[in-house]
Amino acid sequence: MKVEKVVLTHVRVPLVEPFRISSGAVSEKDGIVIALYSEGLTGYGESSPMAGNFYSGDTPERSWEELCNVVVPALFGRTFEDPSDWNAALDKLPAGNFTKTGVETAFWDIFAQRQNKPLHQMLGGTAATVRSGLAVGLYDDLNDMLRTVDRYLADGYHRVKLKIEPGHDIDIVKAARKAFGNIPLYVDANGAYSLAHLDVFHALDDFDLMMFEQPFPGPALEDLAALQQEVRTPICLDESLDTADQLRRAIQLDSFRIANFKVQRIGGFHRALEMLHICSEHYIESWVGTMPELGIGQAQGAALASLDGFVFPTDVEASTRWFRDDIISPFLQVKNGNIELPTSPGLGYTIDGEKLLKYKVAARSFPS
């Protein structure tokens, strides 16, 4: 596959409601759409870090600069044969994982089209549908949180994830359990706690939760191991697992029981497949998370979630769950808690050119 042309489009789409976690909030979603042209085919990817630098060091502005000045110039005009080939080239470049993911996944889209296979089958998935789970951000008013959960449970989501932060944790879970009973439920702290908060997790241990997702900051693997020894509830790691080496170290330390892999955070599909294999070897259960991304990234997450090794419902939700609009057609839909995977070759969704223009922040083409 020779890279003949690349078009980058930075878009910004308004959210239905602010997305708030323990470290910050956003009311708009930035995404950089990568259109990669090769031998009559076009592959699409999305570089989708959160704005404001509150989830990771990657930001939309940083990814834009890296794509324009480092990644695309290094790959333009070159020929690649398979995933290991283009990933070897990407590995050598000084750019963040979110940046590389947009290009890495666009290659996979073309690769699947050339093989005349849907993306999920190209990745090794066999399921025709994937189970979706509901993620709910932080609210100032518990009643607003409960109304949100109640509204979306009607769509059949297979579990509910609640964001927590110090001072807003036990009360959130207690209210959800009182309102909804013994639904599949867990909490996500986005690294906001420490061993000083053991009493909180001992209390949460009594609510029969599926997992505690990322209770401590990413690097705190030793402390996470200590917490796992203190609680019955399985610890799930997200921000701690950026690389295969970090995953192996977390396994060695016994820091967790469940892994959440975000395609954006770990650098693309090739790394996700590698890390899923490591988890399978060590009997670590896994699932596919999202930022959330716009439609391209969400569709990619759903495709990855179709693989047998991902045993928990994905964070991928319907387009209208978070966004007032989307850049794909048709929108992602959740029916009876499930996402039906497309059967056409590649990504399986059309990229809406008019929507790209409507929400465009910046654009650049190679060659210019």
Q: What amino acid positions are annotated as catalytic residues?
A: 163, 262
Backbone angles phi, psi at 298, to 5 degrees: -65, -45
Contacts of 117 (CB under 8 A, 6+ apart): 345
Q: Are 68 and 96 in contact (CB under 8 A)?
A: no
Sign for the CA dihedral angle at 248, 267, 263, 64 comes to positive
Q: Are 97 and 58 in contact (CB under 8 A)?
A: yes
Contacts of 53 (CB under 8 A, 6+ apart): 59
Dist CA 275 CA 353 (whole Å): 34
- Taking Cα atoms as reference points, which of 4, 33, 18, 22 lies closest to residue 357? 33
What are the counts of helices (DSSP H) followed by strands (DSSP E) for the chain?
15, 15
Token pair recorded at residue 49: 């870090």
Longest Cα pair distance anywhere in the chain, in angstroms?
A: 59
Angle of CA points 293, 174, 211, to nearest 5°: 50
Q: Amino acid letter at 194?
A: S
